[in-house]
């Protein structure tokens, strides 16, 4: 009987926890977007260009469609991002060995060095932020955030090209 009575209370607590987590994540994303923009742009690339470099380093050589999907961008926007990185010599573009119409994109040695400088700077800042937390809290926070990110990507349908906007995009 007590378990039945606790269900509404547990549902109310879950709702409150969801609201609190949503508020915290929204604030974190907002702050990180501005922090990343200010820190990364000092290196002569945009945050999106940095994400593209990171994806090419992590995934290895990739096609434009795969990179666009990884970045949640349409192909034309990803193409402009890559063109800028290529002009700055941070990305190389080669013909696909099996499909002459396709290209293979790779981070150049200069792109890898740049990304490592940016990453080192951002990780050092994060290390300072984490210094006051216990090791188990630090590890738990990283696992939680990664799990939330994966669940959000899966549920949003963005990775699969599904969303609320028509194929032409939202207006």
On whether residue 167 sits in a domain, the answer given is no
- When pLDDT is averaged across residues 142-163 and rounded to a whole number, the result is 76
| Between 107 and 101, the higher pLDDT residue | 107
Helices assigned H by DSSP within the chain: 2-40, 47-59, 64-71, 75-87, 109-130, 135-156
Contact between residue 93 and residue 86 where contact means Cβ atoms under 8 Å apart: yes
Contact between residue 115 and residue 54 where contact means Cβ atoms under 8 Å apart: yes
On whether residue 41 sits in a domain, the answer given is yes
Mean per-residue pLDDT of the chain: 85
70: left (phi over 0), alpha (psi -120 to 50) or beta: alpha
On whether residue 102 sits in a domain, the answer given is yes
- When pLDDT is averaged across residues 119-123 and rounded to a whole number, the result is 91
CA-to-CA distance for 26 and 51, rounded, in angstroms? Answer: 20
On whether residue 136 sits in a domain, the answer given is yes
Number of structural domains found in the chain? 1
pLDDT at 168: 47
- When pLDDT is averaged across residues 126-143 and rounded to a whole number, the result is 92
pTM: 0.75
- When pLDDT is averaged across residues 3-26 and rounded to a whole number, the result is 81
On whether residue 170 sits in a domain, the answer given is no
pLDDT at 20: 93
Pick from 89-103, 118-132, 150-164: least confident: 150-164
3-state SS, residue 92 = strand
- When pLDDT is averaged across residues 9-26 and rounded to a whole number, the result is 87
Q: Cα torsion for 107, 113, 117, 120, to the nearest 10°?
A: 80
pLDDT at 134: 95
Per-residue pLDDT of 22-81, as tens digits, reads 899 899 888 877 777 777 777 889 889 999 999 999 999 999 999 999 999 999 999 999
pLDDT at 159: 47
Q: What is the CATH number of the domain that holds 71?
A: 1.10.10.10
On whether residue 128 sits in a domain, the answer given is yes
On whether residue 53 sits in a domain, the answer given is yes
């Amino acid at each position: 009987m007590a378990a039945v009575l606790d269900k509404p209370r547990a549902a109310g607590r879950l709702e409150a926890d969801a609201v609190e987590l949503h508020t915290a994540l929204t604030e974190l994303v907002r702050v990180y977007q501005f922090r990343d923009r200010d820190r990364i742009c000092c290196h002569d690339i945009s945050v999106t260009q940095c994400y593209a470099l990171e994806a090419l380093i992590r995934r290895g050589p990739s096609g434009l469609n795969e990179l666009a999907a990884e970045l949640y961008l349409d192909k034309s926007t990803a193409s402009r991002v890559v063109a800028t990185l290529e002009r700055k010599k941070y990305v190389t573009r080669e013909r696909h060995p099996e499909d002459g119409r396709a290209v293979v994109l790779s981070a150049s040695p200069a792109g890898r060095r740049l990304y490592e400088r940016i990453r080192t700077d951002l990780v050092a800042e994060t290390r300072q932020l984490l210094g006051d937390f216990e090791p188990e809290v630090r590890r738990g926070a990283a696992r939680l955030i990664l799990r939330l990110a994966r669940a959000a990507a899966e549920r949003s349908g963005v990775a699969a090209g599904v969303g609320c906007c028509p194929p032409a995009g939202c207006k």
